[in-house]
Every structure is written in structure tokens, then in C-alpha cells.
Amino acid sequence: MYLLIIAVVIVMLKIYEVPPVDSWLWPEVMLPSFMALLWKLWADWSGYSRRRARARSARRQSARYVRDKGLFKINATQRQIRK
């Protein structure tokens, strides 16, 4: 994602002819875009993206479990007080 943002900024600087980017050749300007493409291809091929998604899902599930467990304790103590 960061490489893609950098690539867009550099291309915009080249289009609007902002120094020193205006003197760069187009292959140099497009290098971050190419690197972002390679990163995306590698991440999908190696399973990196899938592992990150699973870890994110596990963190959410764990947080939800802790939150719900805490709510259950609160409800259980309120029931005991009412009796």
C-alpha cells in the first residue's frame, strides 16, 4: 500500500513537472508501481496475505470472546443481586 501511494505521488509530480522529478525518466518514475505489483504478486503467491487475514480474524474473535465473557459476568452478578 505504501509503495502504491509513493508511486501515485511520484507520477503526479512528474505530470505536473515539479523539480527534481521532472528530469527523471519514465522508467524511474514507474519503478515504485512495478515494485508494488511485485509485492502484491509475491504476497498472494506465498500465502502472506492469507496468513495476515487469518491473524486479523483471530484477533477479532478473541476480542469478541473477551468482551462477551465480561458481559456475561456482569449479567451473572446482576442476577445474583436480584435474587
CA–CA dist 49, 55 (Å, integer)? 10
Domain ranges of the chain: 1-46, 49-83
pTM of the model: 0.64
Q: What DSSP string runs through 23-73?
A: GS-HHHHHHHHHHHHHHHHHHHHHTHHHHHHHHHHHHHHHHHHHHHHHHHH
Q: What is the pLDDT along the chain (83 residues), one digit of tens a residue?
A: 899 999 999 999 999 999 999 999 999 999 999 999 999 999 999 999 999 999 999 999 998 888 887 777 766 566 665 55
Cα distance between the two ends of the chain: 56
User: What's at 34, amino acid-wise?
Assistant: F
